[in-house]
Structure 1
């Protein structure tokens, strides 16, 4: 199995854990921006330290990244921050299911943005596999409850979900562009350089933002280090896996395989919480699995 597939699946697993931790912080202790900041303030120093150790111990042949790297990284980092804030804000709103459904448009939007920004087209078979996966995700999301469901698609939750999906797509494509600017042969080294640079920019940018817009929130994040620290660790591990995959493959394919996190969630429901899986969920899992297997075979 190719490295980008392994990295995509691992990233999805880490992301599932991080979202659960972020939801807890957003509901109990921190604002949406504070819960988002937690993933960077604890991951950026560790990522920088790991990169420093690798550079000092192995002396790899890697040059200082040029302006394009920093520009791509800054845009991707800002998009990811905004998308994460939108996602955390969804956790406390009505019509959560509608918003989360729109977030799942991320894969299709990533394919479109990747074509516009990097000129990376998705093959016809690849597009069919991606669409099949999106359908599977929508089936897993379940039917909307209540009457006049169409009005829910005009709600603030829908806007937050669609905005988050688009911004996650922007971040994925620009992170791939940034990693390709790193002058190094090893894909994992390129991913590590990108990770350290981007998370440091995100940490500093959000620190300044919170100091002026939400005074005292930085202190609350630092005070919640027991929970927030785990967010930082899972964020760093997951982002490193994403960046490794982005370095090796089209971002749309990476994100499509990453949808396996939905299957992780259903399996956890079955194996850990001993809850039954409905026929609809079996259909969704089957469609999503076929999509992922198709992309793996295509690669």
Structure 2
């Protein structure tokens, strides 16, 4: 159920900021461990999350809303699911078949649609389901980077560690979206942006404690490196907070699957820029993938009207 039209610009902005953050985070991921690279998103993102919440309340003064009894539980669940999903995705990248792991992680939209129906009763129109199907196939094609892979190649790859990590990553990202959506529903306010920013600040604080505690217990030496990379890590934190604020606003105002499939337009924008502005050669499968992603977004939007 869509409660506000703001979900669309928020989702499109989230996709763009996420691409920017990923590019910056690559600069610190080479010098940090798996968990340390994940921690910088939350540790350095927390001040910006609090700044966004404080700035919004200054611009739109209102009493701080109360929260439901399950608020903290959903924030913890969504935050922990995101930590697990991110680590699984990095593990998928680390396996020999990078392409397969990446492609299977893109099943998140389908998994999210099924889980949101089973757990929250969210129903989508046939157009929206068709859009999800087109978008997932399109992003999977783009994930191959032009490499020839047929349907049977993906089927045969199902047992590979990269594929299993990719599917599991998509599953936990879907759970993240559902947890965040349920958390925003526990905030007793008619302002979805305020609800999203409250959930963001609380969730990022919890993630900092969870992953920071794990790092201190298991890899104490990495904590020094986390602080040593503060210049680049600060940029990662800022972009993570901004991107999450946009994603959370989308989740607060529209069905999970719809937000995720429209957010995949970010892949099309990235590929289009690389090919049409940087003059990189476009592969036939990539052109088809771009077309499918755009078609998927159009169908999803048509189904939401």
User: Which residue of the partner structure matches residue 68 of structure 2?
Assistant: 66
Find the residue that maps to 1:184 and give its secondary structure.
coil
Separation in 2 of the partners of 1:179 and 1:65?
A: 9
The 5 Å alignment of 1:16-55 reads 16-26=19-29, 28-55=30-57
- Number of residue equivalences: 297
User: Which residue of the partner structure matches residue 94 of structure 1?
Assistant: 96
Within the alignment, does 1:290 sit opposite 2:295 as a pair?
yes
The 5 Å alignment of 1:216-235 reads 216-235=221-240
Separation in 1 of the partners of 2:157 and 2:301?
A: 35
1:124 to 123, 126, 141: 126
Q: Is the 8 A contact 1:61 1:184 kept in 2?
A: no
Q: TM-score, normalised by structure 2?
A: 0.91
RMSD across aligned C-alpha pairs, in angstroms?
Answer: 2.0
User: Which residue of the partner structure matches residue 136 of structure 1?
Assistant: 138
Q: Is the 8 A contact 2:93 2:102 kept in 1?
A: no
User: Which residue of the partner structure matches residue 209 of structure 1?
Assistant: 214
The offset of 1:165, in angstroms, is: 0.4
CA offset digits 1:4-34 (Å, max 9, x no partner): 11111111111112222333322x2101111
Q: Is the 8 A contact 2:138 2:289 kept in 1?
A: yes
Q: Is the 8 A contact 1:187 1:247 kept in 2?
A: yes
Q: Which moved more, 1:227-236 or 1:119-128?
A: 119-128
Within the alignment, does 1:169 sit opposite 2:171 as a pair?
no
The verdict on how the C-alpha distance between 1:140 and 1:57 changes in structure 2, with shifts beyond 3 A counting, is closer
- Structure 1, unaligned runs of 5 or more: none
CA offset digits 1:61-120 (Å, max 9, x no partner): 332323311111110100001111122233333101000011000000001111122111
The runs of at least 4 aligned residues of structure 1 exceeding 6 Å deviation read none
The offset of 1:267, in angstroms, is: 1.6
CA offset digits 1:179-233 (Å, max 9, x no partner): 1111112211111111111101101111111000111212211110111111111
Separation in 2 of the partners of 1:290 and 1:193?
A: 34
The verdict on how the C-alpha distance between 1:223 and 1:274 changes in structure 2, with shifts beyond 3 A counting, is same
The verdict on how the C-alpha distance between 1:58 and 1:11 changes in structure 2, with shifts beyond 3 A counting, is closer
The offset of 1:264, in angstroms, is: 1.9
Within the alignment, does 1:188 sit opposite 2:190 as a pair?
no
1:103 to 82, 97, 105: 105
Q: TM-score, normalised by structure 1?
A: 0.93
The verdict on how the C-alpha distance between 1:229 and 1:281 changes in structure 2, with shifts beyond 3 A counting, is same
The verdict on how the C-alpha distance between 1:19 and 1:284 changes in structure 2, with shifts beyond 3 A counting, is same
User: Which residue of the partner structure matches residue 17 of structure 2?
Assistant: 14
The offset of 1:254, in angstroms, is: 0.2
Q: Is the 8 A contact 1:184 1:190 kept in 2?
A: yes
Within the alignment, does 1:281 sit opposite 2:283 as a pair?
no
1:264 to 266, 269, 294: 269
Q: Is the 8 A contact 1:129 1:295 kept in 2?
A: yes
Separation in 2 of the partners of 1:272 and 1:93?
A: 32
The offset of 1:145, in angstroms, is: 6.5
Separation in 2 of the partners of 1:279 and 1:66?
A: 51
User: Which residue of the partner structure matches residue 85 of structure 2?
Assistant: 83
Find the residue that maps to 2:244 and give its secondary structure.
helix
The verdict on how the C-alpha distance between 1:233 and 1:210 changes in structure 2, with shifts beyond 3 A counting, is same
Within the alignment, does 1:254 sit opposite 2:259 as a pair?
yes
The verdict on how the C-alpha distance between 1:207 and 1:163 changes in structure 2, with shifts beyond 3 A counting, is same
